Each structure stands twice: as C-alpha cells, then as structure tokens.
Chain A
Amino acid sequence: MRYVFNSPTFFAHELSTMIGGTIAALGWTYTHRYHGHVRVDVIYTHLTPRGKALVDVILTLLLFFPLLGILIMNSTESLLFAIKMGEVMRGSFWYPPAWPIKMIMVVGLSLFALQGAAHFVRDFYLLVKDKPYD
C-alpha cells in the first residue's frame, strides 16, 4: 500500500497503539472471568477452597476495589477533560481525538471491576456457606 500509492500510512502507527490498548483494556474482564490473571501459587495451591475464598475476599476488599476505584475515577476525569477540551493525541502528526481510546479505558476498567465484584460475591458465598455458589 505504502509503496503503491506512494503515501506513507500516517495513521497506522497511532491506530495500532489504540487497537493494542483496546485489546488489553477490554480483555481484562474476559481474562478475569476465566481466572486467567496469573497468580503466584506457591502457597495458594495448598489452601482449601474456603481458604482460597478467604484470601480472595480480603484482598478484593483491601486491594482490588480501592485500586480499580481510583483508576476508574481518574480515567473518567481524564475522559471528561478530553471531551471538554477537544484533546487530540500527539503521538504522530495525525492528531486523532483522544476521547475514544480514553472512553475504552473507562469502560474496560469498569467492566473489570464489575467482574471482580461478581467473583467477590461468589467467594463470599463460598466462605460463609462452605459450598460453591454454582
């Protein structure tokens, strides 16, 4: 293409980075759904299902929710700012608007938090009743 039309694909670079970011941000939820995020299971594998649920419940409350909450809050601010100011990306001389990729970030993080909440409820159920939710 580049050689045939003798014009550099000036948008390809930045568009690829946006696609890459989209894959990651929207994939977090899917991966979490199937427990695909790597754990260091040196100790974890030796726990009972209830012990695992206990670790997950505590750390979801202490670490996961605060971290995701802050990230969602901050990326939303950044998105609103981008919309208000008509911010553009400055990675190349294409200058595309910044809000679409920022919105994907907000959506991706929010869905991820939601999936985290779903796991949290299941783990909490298992912890209290000592049997799996489903």
Chain B
Amino acid sequence: MIDISPEVVTILMFAGILVGVLSGYPLAIPIGATALIVGYLTMGAAVFDILESRLFSLIRNIVILAAPLFVFMGVMLERSGIAERMYDALYMWLSGFRGGLAVITVVIGTILAATVGIIGASVTMLALVALPAMIKRGYSKSFSSGVVCAGGCLGILIPPSIMLVIYGPMAQISVGKLFFAAFVPGLVLSGLYITYIIIRSFFQRDIAPAVPPEERSQASFLKKTTILMAAIAPTALLILSVLGTIFFGIASPTEAAAVGALAATILTFAYGRFSWRVLRETALQTLKITSMILLIGGLSYAFVGVFLALGGGKVIQNLVLTAPVGPWGIFAIIMFVFFILGFFIDWIGILFIMVPIISPLVPELGFDPLWFGMMIVVNLQMSFMTPPFAAAIFYLRGAADPELGVTMADIIRGVIPFVFIIIFALGLFIAFPQLILWLPSKMIGG
C-alpha cells in the first residue's frame, strides 16, 4: 500500500479513465479497472468489497429499473410503425407549405422523443422515414439533415427520457420532478426549431419548396382529420397516461414505465404489427441496451465509491468552491467540461461518473439542483450535435440511404444553426428559470 495524497489520487483516477476509455476498449472496463488498480495501490484488498458491493447494489436500483422498461416501450413503438403512420398523416396537412416537411420532422421528433428516449433510435428513425422524403421533394440536403439531427436529439430531453432516469438517482433528485422540469424546455426547443424552419424557408424560397399540388393528398377535410387522429391519438394517450400517473402522484416512474411498456405492446397489436418475432426481437434489443447501460452504470458507481473513499470528493469540492470566479464562473466551467466530455465519451459514462461527484456542490453554489440538472442535460444534448465529434451526426450518416448522397459536410453545415438555437435556449433558461421550475412545482406528490 502506498500513501498518496487525495490530489494525486484524483489526477491518477481521471487520467486513468481518460486514457483507458479513449483506447476504444468497451468503456465500462477501463472505468472499473482504474478504480481497482488505484484503489488496490492505496487501500489494499478493502477495495474489492467496495467494487463488488457497489456493482451489486446499482444493478438492483429500483429507479434505474425504469430504464429497461422505457427502452422496451421505445423499441416496441418503433416496431409498431408509428413513425411512418404519423408521417403520412401529417404529410396530408402540411406538405403544401414551404418548409412543411421539415416542420413535420420536428413534430414527429418531439412526439417520438416522448416515447423513445435514446438519441440513436430517434435519429435513425427520422433518417429512415423523413430524410428521403425531404430530399426527394427538393429540400436542401444540409437543411434536411440538420432538421433530422435536431429533431432526433430532442429524445434525450423530452420525458420519459432514459437520461433523466439515470440523472435522478445519481443526483438524488426525484425522476418524476426531472421529467416535468424537462417538459417545458423540450417544447421550447421544439418550438424554436419550428420557428426557425418557418422563417428560413419563408426567406429562402429554394431551400424547402412546397410540394406541388398534384403530389398532395386530395382527401377531404374529414378524412384527413380521421387519419391524423388515428395516427396521433393512441400515442398521445400513451404518453399522457405514463406522464400523467407520475404527475398526479399515482405511480412512481418505474411503475409508469411498466404500464407504458405494456401499453406500447397493445398499441403494436392494434396496428396489426405484433408477432412473436417482434416481441422476441424487442426483448433481446432491450436486454442488450439495458445490460450495456447497467455495466457502465455499475462499474462507474463502483469507481465513484472508490474515488470518494479516497478523498477525491473533497479535492473536487475545494477546487470548485475556492476557484476565484464566483458561482457563475464555476457554472460556466462545469458546463464547458460536460460539453467537451460529451464529444468523446458516451453520455452514460458521463452521467454515472460526473453527476454524483458534482451534484453535492450544486446547493453550495446557490443553484437549484433541478434547474442545474436540466442545464446539464440540455448542454449534453448540444454536445451530441456539435461537429466534429457528434453522436447524432454519426447516427445520421449510418442510417441515411447512400443514394441520397448526403455528405458529412452537408450534415455539419446543416446542424450548426440548430446548435446556435440550443445556445439561445440555454440563455433563455438561465434568464427565466421558471421555464424549468414551474411545472415540477405543480406536481402532486413527487
């Protein structure tokens, strides 16, 4: 056993993670191994117990158990063909306007966001359903891909989102409250995107042309309304019942998630897409995503346990609280660190490691934990869209049909305006924290 000061331990542990993680080995392993190695050198075999018991306790966390259920709900809804259905229904209404298809994309992104909760899934879905239609109708490639990235990324913010399910227990905040804190910001962002699309396509005539009348639907108003209702009402009902039971204190997020998973299955059944094969594939996909999240989660939780036992928490606390820049300066630094980490490291690792270390300091800095959490989540969302290392861009490129000829440069150019919109929104949330805090304060229970 070597006697090392907590400062050196802090540096060693973070350097260990950074090098290990960037090697490209499955993320969770270097995180756990760093804790093992540094822990063994400093406290000997006592570290084994910390690692094993923290891993064992995290995978049995009742709040995080909502994650597999929401994942199941999302994957199941993806199979139900709901995205195509909504697209077709909205197409009848909005295709006649300039920028209409882009608005549809954001609207579907917003609704799907409420069901999917993982960016990979919603960006992929939009890239398959909405992108080809836009480009074939003469929309600019960069504009359309920017819209798809932005619309798809709403998924991590708008509840029920997996990211918030994990943020809650790590920061010891109620997940229900986080859900409703995210509700208004999500709609604000989606509204800003739509406003931007409308303004831009109004001034730039050729960027997003209206669909010519002969390609539009000639159905009667009544028929169009019926189709729209059939496409949107069941999903809306599903989302509202999941969120409503949480809002009125009837169910915990985990219980609501279980109901949502069942309801999604029934919905798939009603749309005639259900089969045992679909159920099997959905279950296996859920298993993969869940155990991946929980391996990172468990080992990161173990890492944090070792880190705190070695006094690393105090080091960070001193560093943050004595920095001569004031609370807002520290806020800016923390945001910047999260933003940069979001480029390189998967968000699951970031949340499980950074949030338990940073969040105890938030009240001491004089910020509302709920508001702070929301800023982190919106900020991470921005970092997923900011070139050059943006998760959303890679998902889009992976999913877009090569025949469309969308290049990396197109996507990057298209995404930039939306990054500025998010920065603007962050400014709004700083200026008007009520946007975040109002709805959760109206919750019953929580």
* Docked complex: B51-70 residues within 8 A CB-CB of A: 51-53, 55-56, 59-62, 64-65, 68
Q: How far is the CB of B35 from chain A (nearest CB, A)?
A: 9
Counting contact residues on chain B (CB < 8 A from A), the size range is: 35 or more
Within 8 A of B (CB), among A76-127: 78, 101-102, 105
Q: Are B60 and A73 in contact (CB under 8 A)?
A: no
Q: Given the complex of chains A and B, what is the CA–CA distance between A30 and B254 in angstroms?
A: 24
- Check A17–B68 contact: CB distance below 8 A: no
Residue of A with least CB distance to B348:
A38
A17–B51 contact, CB under 8 A?
A: no
Question: What 1/0 flags go to B274-298 for Cβ under 8 Å of A?
Answer: 0000000000100111111011101
Of the residues B52, B290, B346, contact of A74 by C-beta under 8 Å = B52
Known: A38-B346, A67-B32, A75-B56. A24 touches B295 (CB 8 A): yes
Interface residue B345 (Cβ < 8 Å from any Cβ of A): yes
> What does the 1/0 interface line of A25-47 toward B look like (CB < 8 Å)?
11110111010111111111101
| New A-B pairs, 11, CB < 8 Å, besides A37-B27, A38-B26, A67-B36 | A17-B65, A20-B60, A32-B26, A36-B289, A37-B296, A38-B348, A40-B345, A59-B23, A63-B33, A70-B51, A102-B56
Q: Is B48 an interface residue (CB 8 A)?
A: yes
Decide: A36 and B389 in contact? CB cutoff 8 A.
no
Query: Complex formed: what's the CA distance from A23 to B288 in Å?
Result: 10
User: Considering residues B29, B60, B288, B296, which has the most beta carbons from chain A within 10 angstroms of its beta carbon?
Assistant: B60
Between A and B, how many residue pairs show CB distances below 8 Å? 136
B254, A31: Cβ atoms under 8 Å? no
Whose C-beta in chain A lies nearest to the C-beta of B295? A28
Is the CB–CB distance between A74 and B49 below 8 Å? yes
- Bound CA span A45–B23, Å: 10
Contact B48 A37 (CB under 8 A): no
Are A31 and B292 in contact, with the CB atoms below 8 A? Answer: yes
Q: Which single member of A36, A43, A73, A101 contacts B288 (CB below 8 Å)?
A: A36
